[in-house]
Structure 1
């Protein structure tokens, strides 16, 4: 692959900031062209993103700029999307551009790495406890094997199909982080989980869960998510990735070794912290009423009310390890994340109906 250029979507986001920084560290010979929303109208944001990589060019645009995205994806051999797990418009534009690049015959099939989330394997348990769940290995996962009503599939299935084609093929890979925690770098320093709960909890008057909150989650530090992406990309460039004969690179779960936790325990700790800070009138956690859960519909029940338990076996075969997650757990990180969040505004960038465009 002679052209050492990466087209990056989401560089100003929470995961995107760490990914851009890591690309500069792990692939220093590659330049990055990053699509960033309203970059020319926000000098401070522009400076923060630009400081993360020594050879980055910033392009003003957002995920709905389909023509722009297609144009850039068609020009370059690598596209990485860490902007959104659920944005079919940008996914289609990216795939259209990459297929055009592939059809041109220059340099072989292009690479597309896309971020999704573990909500795809949710059992939709409605917050109920389910005993003796066997972790699902990413070696056994395929988007067509889970309920079609689960989140992220509207984007994941077209990406998978593009990777399995034999004509104008694209080497596609999807990464599936668990509950992402930690402190961000660059323009966005607070994780989406913190932002969404800081908006929902005051609206309800208390911290809460979808159903009783006995459903269990796996977690991973944002630094380990970024290292997973660069580990995968390097393996694909070197021909070491777990790819089929048609070039489709399989799905990769990104999970730590930290113990499982229930959403009841997590939201209770979160609620106690917001109570101490004066954002709530009571601590602890209790189930949300329909007036709150209905705002997100099936998305909320699938993402926040189901068990999401997997095993990150493909990445481990490539030598990836959750190094940062071993240093600090999701509960130990919470006070640090909230201290950053308390200093930041606004609380949330999207309305409840738009949350499906974020990675959960």
Structure 2
């Protein structure tokens, strides 16, 4: 149980709302930063207190952080000002002798190998070997903000407990929230618009994945570990991968095949066979980021979380897609989709 601890979640959306649900069940007092009235009403019904604002409201985020024992940033992996605002609040608490737990969300795009739909890679990253993560170039996706947090962690030392969760491709659907992930649903909407499922290049690269509810449980397992451990152990290694695939990561070509067959079975496209995605149609997927976000290798292993007792128990990506996500996507208005324009966490 929570022992009265207060939690602040920046971005209780696709990931964070599932974390929020678990924390409420465990007796924590939770506040969530939200942008829309409808979302505020949703998390209020889940038992949390909404605070209206955006990621650019630095003073608000710092103030809320300073008033909470535990902070999660689950909104995006690439908004530096909001992460800095949290760190400012953590430092304010440290100046008063108050320790803070802060879990930031990065993503395994940081492992980008530049494959762009080319070849499968045998390279697998293990988060119990920090040197493997430290070998990633400073220019890699998400790396700037990860390094900003690591620098602040060193400065704070024992005054704060800081960790960085690095999820892979996230899938899954919680019917209570009615929210979908990004990559596979975006490729599905593309297929509905153009009549065929697509993959970048050969589609051979592999990407580890995780069900969003398994990921939410992992955040809470990590949080409990941080409650019970010293800041020193986190200083040694703040990084945590979270995947459910082991050595069974699907390729992008395999994902496109399932999308095509699923839509064909649903009577939405005539030909289930996937094709290579033409570059002139990247705008209907993820624009300039298409060949990176849905075309690279990103293979990781959650050794540290498994050592803490966490294990994935939800449906695998294929079953989840066909049973839960695809039925929701085909209900949407088709034809007008013009690519995903938001920020991709993983």
TM above 0.5, one fold?
Answer: yes
Q: Which residue of 1 aligns with 2:5?
A: 4
- Please point out which of 329, 339, 342 is paired with 2:316: 329
Q: Which residue of 2 aligns with 1:136?
A: 125
1:97 correspondence with 2:84: no
Aligned length: 341
Could you tell me whether the CA contact under 8 Å between 1:163 and 1:249 is conserved in 2? no
- Please point out which of 36, 46, 52 is paired with 2:46: 52
- Please point out which of 336, 339, 343 is paired with 2:327: 339
Q: Structure 1 residue 312: deviation in Å?
A: 0.8
- Please point out which of 13, 31, 48 is paired with 1:33: 31
Alignment of 1:47-196 (within 5 A): 47-53=41-47, 56-105=48-97, 107-108=98-99, 110-130=100-120, 133-141=122-130, 144-166=134-156, 169-196=159-186
Q: Which moved more, 1:269-278 or 1:216-225?
A: 269-278
Deviation digits for residues 93-127 of structure 1 (CA, Å, limit 9, x no counterpart): 2222222222232x23x111012222111222222
* Distance in 2 of aligned mates of 1:38 and 1:349: 22
Query: 1:66/1:282 Cα in 2 relative to 1: closer, same or farther (>3 Å)?
Result: farther
Unpaired stretches in structure 2, ≥5 consecutive residues = none
Q: Which moved more, 1:151-160 or 1:166-175?
A: 166-175
* Distance in 1 of aligned mates of 2:88 and 2:338: 27
Q: Structure 2 length normalisation: TM-score?
A: 0.87
Could you tell me whether the CA contact under 8 Å between 2:205 and 2:252 is conserved in 1? yes
* Distance in 1 of aligned mates of 2:65 and 2:236: 18
Could you tell me whether the CA contact under 8 Å between 1:151 and 1:302 is conserved in 2? no
Could you tell me whether the CA contact under 8 Å between 1:49 and 1:186 is conserved in 2? no
Q: Which residue of 2 aligns with 1:208?
A: 198
- Please point out which of 256, 263, 267 is paired with 2:244: 256
Could you tell me whether the CA contact under 8 Å between 2:91 and 2:156 is conserved in 1? no
- Please point out which of 287, 291, 303 is paired with 2:276: 287
1:244 correspondence with 2:242: no
SS class of match (2:54): coil
* Distance in 2 of aligned mates of 1:168 and 1:174: 16
Superposed CA RMSD: 2.9
Could you tell me whether the CA contact under 8 Å between 1:256 and 1:322 is conserved in 2? yes
Q: Structure 1 residue 169: deviation in Å?
A: 4.9
Query: 1:65/1:358 Cα in 2 relative to 1: closer, same or farther (>3 Å)?
Result: farther
Q: Which moved more, 1:202-211 or 1:343-352?
A: 343-352
Q: Structure 1 residue 3: deviation in Å?
A: 6.4
* Distance in 2 of aligned mates of 1:277 and 1:180: 23
Query: 1:296/1:189 Cα in 2 relative to 1: closer, same or farther (>3 Å)?
Result: closer
Query: 1:6/1:48 Cα in 2 relative to 1: closer, same or farther (>3 Å)?
Result: same
Q: Which residue of 2 aligns with 1:309?
A: 299
* Distance in 1 of aligned mates of 2:338 and 2:104: 21
Q: Structure 1 residue 78: deviation in Å?
A: 1.3
